[in-house]
């Protein structure tokens, strides 16, 4: 604008000089009226040509300014869209995280990036628009005394040259800045790649450590077998936990589905970006085609100028043919008009000067109004940006509320887990009471055994009682074994599910880290683009210094908030470490479950030993004392085992107390987080109110400015229409005068000389057009270079995408490795199940061959699960059959014992009968002896052998 004002001053000075020279010549040559008329006509034509050229230049400048403003608006819209996309990605990633911490506000980043440049002037870059004066506008003072329009001659294109030179310098500075930005982005990408590699190496090390820990599973199985007795009473709790784990697995599946959908959305966004780059390519190609068309049009204008020169030459030749006839007419007309021209010349010149001054004022006013309209449009864009930011703040507040709800839900879940832990403690207490009762029963049994050694008859009765108690204890043991097996299966399934969920979570964390790196890179790119846009809007910021000072204060507050959020993040990392410690305790408990399995196997061996003892009891009753001693030794062993279990229970209770302490600490931390979130929400609400007030003030000021601007435009349009009509009338009069002047023959010789000068001028214009064509070609080459740079940038993005795909393939390979490890673990479990089946299937190998899998078939998880289920069902059936057999054998034993008792009773009755018969016989013998002593009757002698025969037959029958 300053250059245009200086050019207009220069034109005014030249026009005044030309007027003074023309007036002096006119006064000196009044005696030559024909020459004066020709000079007037020439001056009129020259001024008309100058006005037409200046108007064309003004139109070109306006068109360039419109194109520049349109391009700037498109760039700003593109930046806004990219910012919204990045903000959406950040929100989705932070919502998908497992931690309940507060997400960092994206609006704080955008406002700090926008306002940070105005505070420090060290980040400012040179201007980029060749149409504006970036100097101190207050120091510009126009000389209002200079009235009149001055037009630059055709050879004077210094202003345009300076403007073009300034635009070239701006382009070079922008290229240098873009190069620096690209170098920074490459450095950041290299750093992010190094960080991802380090993270992958750490993950591999952790996986190797986990594998090493799996090798120690043999040691852990012993501990599991020891704890199996304690976990028998927890079957009901395990069923409840299974339901909870099912719900958690469903939630995890939903979260995985959401993450997959987000990944698909990110891919769609990348595709949209590529499409946008392609559209930008097409736009640049269209601009190149327009430049080519302009070149063609300039060449066409050359041809039209040549045609005009040839027509003027033909007219001159015709005019030279009849100079004599026209000379008389010109002399008469000159005599008549000399008197009129002397009077009207001064008035006409004065009017022309006034009109030119008015036109200059109108042009300056129009330029000011155009600048004002541009400013209004930019203010409207700023208002839209602020409205969008308010919407984003509302959305963030909603997200914060959702996060608070999630925290409350998690607290409820933690309370439920604490209730479950209290229930587990109660069950352990009941188990301890039962153990004490069992100890009392064992002591009673020992007392009964000691008494049985003293009294053999009482021993038989107590032995029967002990057998009944032993049978009940065996039944209980079998039931507890079944429960323990089921609980172990359920714990194993839970362990597998948890391992799968951990693997999925690790994969999701890797994906999230990669996405975060991509978002940070895109954020850096957006920051560089924002700096470039902010350099082009420095004039706006000069007029909005008050608003920017307020924004600076808001930036400081936001910086404080970001520091607080960083502290919250560190606290969140500590919480994650505590969660990992709790997971380690869970793994330890699983190891103890495996040890309980070993204890169960030992109990099975003891059961077999007890069965052998029962067989020995059946063989003979003489070895009862030795068996009682063995039972006492076994009781002593059981008491030692019970003492070990009591110690282990005490250790586990201590560990549980520590877990409860950790849970209480977590609750306090969650409460502190809730308080921090409440304070942050209140601060955000206050900031929102301040922004709304500022927006209302801006809207009111913009509306007043719009009304004033529209009123001024309407007045200017009316004034411009009036002046246009006056100028058209004046042009018509001038055309009539020029036709009259052209009829003069003497003037035609002077016109020939001036036509030659015009011809020279046209040649100079042709040279200038050629120079402009060269400049356009240079611009065309610059645009080509920019296109090549953008293509390189696209290729770099494609390479980055390929790298991401390679990383994804590597992760897939890791998943395959983990799947193979899982298959190996499942194979080991299947082998253990097969071994158990073989131990139970000594008598029925044919049944086991029916549902055993062939080794040639590849591993199928569903089929493996089906086979394992069938094998376990078969094991249960075998156990039931064995229990039925044992029951039948016990029933047979009872029957045999009853038969023995009946036989003994019969024997005793027969023995009593024999004793009675013997006594009778003795009495008979005594009577016989008495009779022999006294008198020996013949009848007694005859009856004695008969009685003896009867007694002998009865004895033989027994």
Cα gap 25→43, rounded to integer Å = 13
What lies within 8 Å, CB to CB, of 325 at 6+ separation is 745
**Over the stretch 729-773, which tens digit does the pLDDT of each residue have?**
877 777 777 677 666 766 777 777 777 777 788 888 888 888 888
On the question of pLDDT at 158 being above 70, the answer is no
On the question of pLDDT at 505 being above 60, the answer is yes
Looking at residue 21, its pLDDT comes to: 46
Cα gap 285→289, rounded to integer Å = 6
Percent of the chain with pLDDT over 90: 0
Sign of CA dihedral 210, 213, 215, 220: negative
What pLDDT band is residue 27 in, cutting at 50, 70 and 90?
very low
Least confident interval from 199-213, 215-229, 260-274, 898-912: 215-229
What pLDDT band is residue 283 in, cutting at 50, 70 and 90?
confident
- The tokens for 713 are 């435009």
CB-CB neighbours of 863 under 10 Å = 12
Instruction: State the DSSP string of 732-801.
Output: HHHHHHHHHHHT-SHHHHHHHHHHHHHHHHHHHHHHHHHHHHHHHHHHHHHHHHHHHHHHHHHHHHHHHH
More confident residue, 637 or 321: 637
On the question of pLDDT at 377 being above 80, the answer is no
Least confident interval from 102-106, 159-163, 656-660, 815-819: 102-106
Cα gap 23→353, rounded to integer Å = 14
Looking at residue 459, its pLDDT comes to: 61
Instruction: State the DSSP string of 519-539.
Output: HHHHHHHHHHHHHHHHHHTHH
Which phi and psi (to 5°) does residue 480 adopt?
Answer: -65, -35
Mean local confidence (pLDDT), 282-293: 72
Q: Is there a contact between 677 and 102 (Cβ–Cβ < 8 Å)?
A: yes
On the question of pLDDT at 818 being above 80, the answer is yes
SS3 376: helix
Sign of CA dihedral 416, 422, 426, 427: positive
- The tokens for 735 are 């055309």
On the question of pLDDT at 62 being above 60, the answer is yes
What lies within 8 Å, CB to CB, of 184 at 6+ separation is 524, 528
Place of tokens 């039948």: 888
More confident residue, 512 or 449: 512
- The tokens for 320 are 């030279």
- The overall longest dimension of the chain from CA atoms, in Å, is 226
Please state the three-class secondary structure of 298-318 as a single string.
Answer: HHHHHHHHHHHHHHHHHHHHH
Place of tokens 């208002």: 383
Q: Give Cα 689 to chain centroid, integer Å.
A: 30
Looking at residue 149, its pLDDT comes to: 43
More confident residue, 649 or 546: 649
Looking at residue 300, its pLDDT comes to: 65
**Over the stretch 565-584, which tens digit does the pLDDT of each residue have?**
777 777 777 777 777 776 77
Cα gap 185→528, rounded to integer Å = 10
What region does 148 belong to: left with phi over 0, alpha with psi -120 to 50, or beta? left
Spatial CA neighbour of 516 closest among 6, 34, 93, 955:
93
**Over the stretch 874-920, which tens digit does the pLDDT of each residue have?**
888 888 888 888 888 888 888 888 888 888 888 888 888 888 888 88
On the question of pLDDT at 50 being above 50, the answer is yes
Looking at residue 548, its pLDDT comes to: 63
Q: Give Cα 839 to chain centroid, integer Å.
A: 53
Cα gap 16→397, rounded to integer Å = 69
On the question of pLDDT at 526 being above 80, the answer is no
Mean local confidence (pLDDT), 144-156: 43
Mean local confidence (pLDDT), 28-53: 66
More confident residue, 327 or 927: 927
SS3 103: coil
Mean local confidence (pLDDT), 427-454: 69
On the question of pLDDT at 679 being above 60, the answer is yes
Place of tokens 């986990």: 210
Looking at residue 567, its pLDDT comes to: 76
Mean local confidence (pLDDT), 546-551: 66
Q: Is there a contact between 115 and 551 (Cβ–Cβ < 8 Å)?
A: yes
Instruction: State the DSSP string of 825-885.
Output: HHHHHHHHHHHHHHHHTSS-HHHHHHHPPPTTSPP-HHHHHHHHHHHHHHHHHHHHHHHHH
Cα gap 679→673, rounded to integer Å = 10
Mean pLDDT over each residue of the chain, to the nearest integer: 70
Looking at residue 146, its pLDDT comes to: 41
Please state the three-class secondary structure of 926-939 as a single string.
Answer: HHHHHHHHHCCCHH
Looking at residue 856, its pLDDT comes to: 42
What pLDDT band is residue 154 in, cutting at 50, 70 and 90?
very low
Sign of CA dihedral 783, 786, 792, 794: negative
**Averaging pLDDT over each range in 8-22, 231-245, 680-694, which range is the top one?**
680-694
**Over the stretch 778-795, which tens digit does the pLDDT of each residue have?**
887 888 888 888 888 888
Percent of the chain with pLDDT over 70: 60
Give 744: exposed, middle or buried? Use CB within 10 Å, 0-12, 13-18, 19+: buried
Looking at residue 148, its pLDDT comes to: 43
């Amino acid at each position: 604008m300053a250059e245009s004002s200086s050019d207009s001053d220069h034109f005014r000075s030249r026009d005044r000089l030309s007027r003074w020279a023309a007036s002096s010549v006119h006064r000196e040559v009044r005696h030559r009226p024909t020459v004066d008329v020709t000079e007037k006509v020439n001056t009129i034509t020259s001024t008309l040509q100058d006005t037409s050229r200046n108007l064309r230049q003004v139109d070109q400048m306006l068109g360039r300014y419109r194109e520049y403003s349109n391009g700037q608006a498109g760039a700003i819209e593109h930046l806004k869209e990219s910012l919204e996309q990045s903000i959406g990605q950040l929100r989705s990633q932070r919502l998908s995280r497992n931690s309940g911490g507060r997400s960092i506000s994206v609006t704080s980043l955008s406002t700090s990036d926008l306002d940070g440049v105005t505070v420090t002037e060290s980040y400012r870059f040179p201007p980029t628009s060749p149409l504006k004066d970036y100097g101190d506008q207050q120091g510009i003072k126009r000389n209002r005394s200079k009235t009149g329009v001055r037009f630059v001659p055709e050879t004077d294109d210094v202003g345009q040259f300076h403007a073009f030179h300034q635009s070239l310098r701006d382009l070079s500075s922008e290229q240098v800045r873009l190069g620096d930005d690209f170098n920074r982005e490459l450095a950041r990408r290299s750093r992010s790649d190094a960080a991802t590699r380090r993270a992958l190496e750490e993950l591999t090390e952790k996986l190797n450590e986990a594998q090493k820990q799996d090798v120690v599973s043999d040691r852990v199985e012993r501990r599991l077998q020891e704890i199996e007795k304690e976990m028998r009473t927890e079957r009901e709790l395990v069923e409840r936990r299974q339901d909870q784990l099912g719900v958690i697995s469903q939630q995890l599946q939903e979260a995985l589905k959401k993450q997959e959908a987000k990944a698909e959305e990110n891919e769609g966004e990348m595709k949209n970006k590529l499409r946008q780059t392609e559209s930008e390519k097409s736009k640049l190609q269209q601009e190149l085609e327009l430049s080519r068309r302009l070149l063609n049009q300039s060449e066409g204008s050359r041809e039209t100028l040549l045609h005009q020169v040839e027509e003027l030459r033909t007219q001159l030749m015709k005019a030279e043919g009849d100079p004599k006839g026209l000379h008389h007419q010109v002399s008469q007309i000159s005599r008549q008009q000399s008197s009129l021209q002397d009077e009207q010349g001064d008035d006409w010149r004065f009017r022309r000067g006034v009109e030119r001054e008015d036109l200059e004022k109108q042009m300056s006013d129009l330029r000011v109004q155009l600048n004002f309209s541009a400013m209004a449009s930019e203010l409207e864009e700023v208002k839209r940006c602020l409205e969008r930011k308010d919407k984003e703040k509302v959305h963030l507040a909603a997200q914060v509320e959702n996060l608070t709800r999630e925290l409350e839900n998690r607290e409820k879940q933690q309370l439920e887990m604490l209730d479950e832990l209290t229930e587990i403690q109660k069950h352990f207490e009941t188990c301890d009471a039962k153990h004490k009762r069992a100890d009392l029963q064992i002591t009673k049994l020992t007392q009964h055994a000691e008494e049985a050694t003293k009294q053999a008859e009482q021993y038989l009765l107590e032995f029967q009682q002990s057998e009944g108690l032993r049978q009940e204890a065996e039944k209980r043991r079998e039931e507890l074994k079944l429960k323990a097996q089921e609980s172990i299966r359920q714990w194993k399934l839970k362990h597998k599910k948890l391992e799968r969920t951990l693997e999925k979570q690790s994969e999701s964390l890797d994906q999230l880290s990669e996405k975060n790196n991509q978002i940070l890179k895109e954020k850096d790119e957006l920051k560089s683009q924002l700096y470039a846009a902010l350099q082009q809007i420095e004039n706006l910021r000069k007029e909005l210094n008050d608003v920017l000072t307020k924004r600076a204060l808001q930036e400081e507050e936001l910086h404080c908030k970001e520091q607080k959020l960083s502290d919250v993040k560190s606290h969140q990392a500590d919480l994650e470490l505590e969660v990992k410690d709790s997971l380690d305790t869970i793994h330890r408990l699983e190891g103890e479950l495996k040890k309980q399995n070993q204890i169960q196997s030992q109990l099975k061996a003891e059961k077999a030993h007890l069965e052998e003892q029962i067989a020995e009891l059946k063989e003979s009753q003489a070895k009862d004392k030795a068996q009682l001693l063995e039972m006492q030794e076994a009781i002593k062993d059981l008491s030692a085992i019970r003492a070990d279990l009591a110690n282990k229970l005490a250790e586990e209770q201590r560990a549980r107390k520590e877990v409860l302490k950790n849970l209480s600490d977590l609750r306090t931390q969650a409460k502190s987080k809730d308080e921090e979130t409440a304070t942050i929400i209140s601060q955000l609400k206050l900031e929102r109110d301040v922004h709304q007030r500022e927006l209302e003030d801006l809207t009111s000021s913009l509306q007043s400015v719009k009304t004033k601007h529209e009123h001024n435009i309407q007045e200017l349009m009316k004034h411009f229409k009036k002046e246009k009509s006056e100028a058209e009338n004046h042009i018509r009069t001038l055309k009539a005068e020029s036709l009259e002047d052209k009829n003069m023959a003497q003037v035609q010789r002077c016109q020939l000389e001036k036509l030659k000068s015009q011809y020279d001028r046209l040649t100079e214009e042709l040279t200038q057009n050629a120079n402009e064509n060269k400049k356009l070609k240079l611009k065309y080459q610059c645009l080509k270079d920019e296109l090549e740079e953008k293509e390189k940038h696209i290729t770099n993005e494609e390479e980055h995408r390929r790298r991401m795909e390679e990383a994804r393939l590597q992760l897939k390979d890791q998943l395959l490795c983990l799947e193979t490890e899982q298959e190996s673990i499942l194979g080991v479990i299947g082998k253990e199940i097969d071994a158990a089946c073989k131990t139970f299937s000594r008598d029925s190998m044919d049944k086991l061959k029916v549902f055993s899998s062939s080794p040639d078939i590849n591993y199928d998880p569903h089929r493996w699960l089906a086979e394992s289920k069938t094998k376990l069902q078969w094991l249960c059936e075998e156990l039931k059959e064995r229990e039925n057999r044992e029951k039948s054998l016990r029933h047979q034993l009872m029957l045999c014992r009853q038969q023995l008792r009946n036989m003994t009773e019969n024997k005793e009755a027969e023995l009593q009968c024999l004793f009675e018969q013997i006594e009778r016989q003795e009495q008979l013998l005594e009577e016989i002896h008495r009779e022999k002593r006294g008198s020996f009757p013949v009848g007694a002698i005859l009856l004695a052998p008969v009685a003896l025969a009867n007694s002998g037959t009865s004895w033989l029958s027994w």
